[in-house]
Amino acid sequence: MNATKDRRLDRRGVLLGLGVAALAPAAWAAGASSVVTVLGDSITAGLGLPARDALPAQLQAALERLGVRALVRGAGVSGDTTGGGLARVDFSVASDTNVCVVALGGNDLLQGADPGLTKANLRRIIEKLKARRIRVVLAGVRAPTLIGAAYAREFTNLFPALARETGAILQPDFVTGVIGVPRLMQRDGLHPNAAGARIVAERLAPSVAAALRVG
């Protein structure tokens, strides 16, 4: 979750997402009948990882282990905030998507954004997706209390509140226990390594599978 708006990193994130999309033929050949898009930031983009180890590919593999065949597309841009996700959701999430994982908010937290604004942006993203009949899994973010107990509580609580209000499926604290654990992080200390991405994917997979079964 890189808070720096570095265009070179943005470009790398987009290219990594396209690299995951290149796995499509194999997925369809294996009998995938559903499409999952992960709308997120550098963690979704797989910054620093080959496409096969990035979150989208790991999520596809985790779903397969649950007996769910789906094509998972990455729509992650490094440094993206909820505002950035809102600005591009219409063109970043293709029309054939059945379920969208909205994994945004980490960069809002790093930038000290107003939780009310973060919640409003996420609400609009969810509304746009639901209007297109795309089911939503909302990946929650837990804010550390060291940044201020009141702020952390408000930020953390916006995700379950929004899930209740919109009917999105909540996956709480989806990177808790990975971010900050050295053996699961890359050298930059900000992004999961392959092992960390696998844990995040395995955490998300049951919620994504449940959302797919709804349809």
Q: Which residues are catalytic?
A: 42, 188, 191
182/208 Cα distance (integer angstroms): 27
CA distances to 147, 166, 186 from 190, rounded to whole Å, are: 17, 30, 7
Count of C-beta atoms within a 10 Å radius of residue 57 = 24
CA distances to 185, 193, 194, 208 from 182, rounded to whole Å, are: 5, 10, 12, 27
203-213: burial string, b at 16+ Cβ within 10 Å, e else = bbbebbbebbe
